Amino acid sequence: MNIKRFTLVLILATSLPPVSFAATVAHPVSNVTKLTLNAAKPISGVANVISNPVQRVPGQTSTPIQLAATYKASDNINIAEYFVSEKLDGVRARWTGTQLLTRNDNVIHAPAWFTQNWPNVALDGELWTQRSSFEAIASIVLSHTPDERWRAVKMMVFDMPISDVPFASRLSTMESLVRGADSNSLATIPQFTLSSQRLLEAKIDEVTAKGGEGLMLHHKAAFYQSGRSNQLLKAKRYSDAEAKVIGYVRGKGKFVGMMGSLIVETPEGIQFKIGTGFSMKQRQYPPPMHSWITFKYYGVTKKGIPRFASFRHIRPVKDLPNL
């Protein structure tokens, strides 16, 4: 396959203060109170990432990005027609052939050695270290000042944004390009096949039990397309989404003097509280007002409120999906 045909294609995807109870303000949601925040030293590098100014590529407009639909067992798809891989919870990135960008076209300030010898073609992937480490990964790769922590990061390639080549052929090309780069920082996400829905369900359970998010299913004959594709499916035991922090509920019992729950609002305007999924440190230093978080949930109520919503992590502005 002529690699030059790909060179003009851009890859697609892709301050935490303590709670003060000195003053409260009435909040419109269920008569809960809204707590003020004091300035304090952040508890992690993610806070600095949140406040960093966004640096976009000069003159570049947002490029299309392929997104996954949700796998449903009731759809009765032919599992054997799909390549399967683990869904990684990292920072989605696009290698343009010369530069790493986030899904929103923000520059990723990777060290020069990190992308040395990478192919001069567009690649779609995930910057990743290990399972259940999103905030740590984000604090590394979204910082404006790269450091030695990048040694633990890999660009896990899962696609090439080429519209007229089926995924099976794109996968073969990706694997060949990665081997040719001979780079310790570049790898393809392992792809495998399963012969039945029963085996798929068992694999989802296995990955989830080990701390993984779930699986991705990519039809072997699928073309790369902008937007959500029914031939690219995410298979998880729960759903997740983003919401903006709009208030706090004071803690009770063992959480006295700390945040008890977050009050959040989805892009659709749904307001609700999230009271689980936080560490004690996160309750002492909750996500800042107007920051975005990712939460997981299990379906929604008749009013559209997520069921059993639980905090996962802060979502840096530079890595926000197109909400």
Q: Which backbone phi and psi does 305 adopt, to 5 degrees? A: -85, 130
Does the CA dihedral 138-143-148-150 come out positive or negative?
positive
- Write out the two tokens for 144: 């404006």
Beta strands across the sheet bearing 66-70: 66-70, 227-235, 215-219, 82-86
**Residue among 34, 41, 72, 87 flagged as catalytic:** 87
CA distance 316 to 51: 8
Sheet strands (E) in 5-150: 19-26, 33-37, 66-70, 82-86, 91-95, 100-102, 123-128
Identify whether 236 is a catalytic site residue. Answer: no
Nearest to 212 by CA among 305, 126, 104: 126
- Cβ distance 95 to 118 under 8 Å? yes
Task: Give 183's Cβ-side CA count (13 Å radius).
Answer: 24
User: Can you spell out the DSSP letters for 24-42?
Assistant: EEE-SSTT-EEEEE-----
CA distance 179 to 183: 8
Within the chain, where are the H helices? 45-51, 134-141, 167-181, 197-209, 280-284
Q: Which residues pair with 243 in a beta bridge?
A: 293
End-to-end alpha carbon distance in the chain: 37
- Cβ distance 56 to 106 under 8 Å? yes
CA distance 144 to 102: 13
Known catalytic residues are 87
